[in-house]
Amino acid sequence: MAKPRVVLPGDIVDTHTHSGSDDESTMDVDAESRVLRLGPGLAQINDSVRATAAGICHSKDETQFWVTSNKRRYVAAEGEPVIGVVVARHAEGYRVDIGSAHDALLPLLAFEGATKRNRPDLALGTTVYARVSVANSLMDPEIECYNANTGKAEGYGELSEGYAIKCSLGLARRLFSSNAPVLVALGASVPMEIAVGLNGRVWINTETPATTVLVANAIKNSEFLDAKQCRQMVKELLEKK
């Protein structure tokens, strides 16, 4: 993976591209026998790929490029995990608040093993962990509580217990990393379950309410700390418990 760098709107990220797609968020680009996939914050303009938002540009295997930034409001992107709250129900499914400009649609059959006769019955206020399956500027986002490629839930679905907190979008993306310092430090001492939504929500489930509060405070306090400071902060919280 190339070293991340700061970009501003209009900056050129890659100039040797050619594309036949008009979808800026998931554009497939043929370039020198490569297929480049552009994520949020990037778009092809004429013969170059340029940043459309200020933030940190990341790349993976020189084929995937995306920009992360600490926005105030979540913008749904296909494939991203989110935590939402059911706010309405209709004939085709549920309306779910995921913190974006528009509620997301969760179809009744978008669950593992769901059929027309066997469908989940979610009450208003239910918290769900889902994956964005459709995201574009022409329609409301759509989410699903299973992996459509395998047909399995793979962790998605109703979050019946625990407690959900809100955090900045930037912190949520850092927590989603497998080696997030605060989660590594907490995991070494505290039994817990964590689900991170890239829409700035984190679901926490522990053995006691007091432990849940400790984990929530540690996560919120970690936003501007490095790995060493995170370990020290978690240690101090555990000593005061």
- Which residues, 6+ apart, have CB-to-CB distance to 220 below 8 Å? 165, 167
Please tell me the predicted confidence (pLDDT) of residue 126: 95
Please tell me the predicted confidence (pLDDT) of residue 67: 83
Same domain, 190 and 231: yes
Q: Which residues pair with 192 in a beta bridge?
A: 206
Same domain, 146 and 167: no
Residue 15 has pLDDT above 50, yes or no: no
**Residue 76 belongs to a domain:** no
What is the C-alpha to C-alpha distance for residues 157 and 154, in angstroms, rounded to an integer?
Answer: 9
Residue 3 has pLDDT above 80, yes or no: no
Q: Strand locations in 52-111, DSSP E?
A: 55-60, 64-68, 81-90, 93-97, 104-107
Residue 24 has pLDDT above 70, yes or no: no
What is the domain range of residue 31?
Answer: 5-68
**Residue 47 belongs to a domain:** yes
Residue 27 has pLDDT above 50, yes or no: no
**Residue 29 belongs to a domain:** yes
What integer best gives the mean pLDDT of the chain?
86
Q: Could you say which of 140, 158, 176 is where a domain stops? A: 158
Q: Could you say which of 134, 158, 182 is where a domain stops? A: 158
pTM above 0.85, yes or no: no
What is the C-alpha to C-alpha distance for residues 152 and 172, in angstroms, rounded to an integer?
Answer: 24
Same domain, 236 and 168: yes
CB 84 within 8 A of CB 130: yes
For the chain, how many structural domains are there in total? Answer: 3
Could you give the strand order of the β-sheet that contains 5-7, starting from the edge strand earlier in sequence? 5-7, 55-60, 64-68, 34-38, 27-31
237 φ/ψ angles, rounded to the nearest 5 degrees: -65, -40
Q: Could you say which of 38, 68, 98 is where a domain stops? A: 68
Residue 132 has pLDDT above 90, yes or no: yes
Please tell me the predicted confidence (pLDDT) of residue 18: 39
What burial class does residue 27 get, using C-beta atoms within 10 Å of its C-beta: 0-12 exposed, 13-18 middle, 19+ buried? Answer: buried
